[in-house]
Each structure stands twice: as C-alpha cells, then as structure tokens.
Amino acid sequence: MKSLEDLKRIREQAQAQIRLRTQEANTKIIVGMGTCGIAAGARETLMAILDELAKRNIQDVVVTQTGCVGLCEYEPLVNVVKPGQPKITYMKVTPERARQIVASHIVNDQVVNEWVLSTEEGV
C-alpha cells in the first residue's frame, strides 16, 4: 500500500466480502468449516468462492459457514441452496472446483453432478 487510493481499494474489497457473508439473498452457499473441513482445505475453498463471486460481480448470493455435519471423509463440503430448487451438497470441493461450481451452478443453474454427495428436496 503506497497511497490513499490503494487504501480505499482495499477497504472497498473488504466491504464487498463482508456484504457477501452477511446480506440477505435468494441463493446461499454454505461451506463446512468444522475442524475436519478446515484440515481438508475448506478455508481455501471459501476464499475461492468469495473471490469468484467478486470477480463476476455477483452480489445476490450469501456465503456462510457451518460446523461439522459428520461426513468428514467428504470434506470440504459445500451446500448450494437456490429458491425453488433442491439443496445440493458438493463433496471434496477444492478451490478449483469451487470456482467451477460458481460458474456452473450459481451463474448457469447447471449442477456439477460428478461432485454431488446428496440432493435434498424441499429446502
């Protein structure tokens, strides 16, 4: 950081990430951040999701975290909940997969079936 403009840019980026994690939205992305998820790379997965949403200027998606759900061998787990659609749980989500999930599922409504652990109707 070398100027006031740099500081303003950093502040705007931080505020955008905070909005993604706190606003009300129709679509939700929930990342498993229990100790098992973190050990499997969930922190990097979460950051990749936030980064991809920011790059695409997607602001109507809320990103939250949850604890362990008892499926440790499938971590990092990511749930995508879209109105009127089943909740999709993705397994073993690397940062690269997270970016593809944003592009395919969030942007284009195309579930990435090969990474789906479960589908839950009526959520």
Domain boundaries, the chain: 24-120
Residues across the chain: 123
d(CA 4, CA 83): 41
pLDDT for 67: 92
pLDDT for 22: 55
Mean pLDDT (the chain) is: 89
Q: Taking residues 48-74, what's their average pLDDT?
A: 92
3-state secondary structure of 55: helix
pTM metric for this prediction: 0.78
Kindly tell me the burial class for residue 29, based on how many C-beta atoms sit within 10 Å of its own C-beta (0-12, 13-18, 19 or more).
Answer: buried
Q: Taking residues 52-81, what's their average pLDDT?
A: 93
> How is domain 24-120 classified at the architecture level of CATH?
3-Layer(aba) Sandwich (3.40)
pLDDT for 109: 93
Residue 109 structure tokens: 């409504």
d(CA 68, CA 71): 7
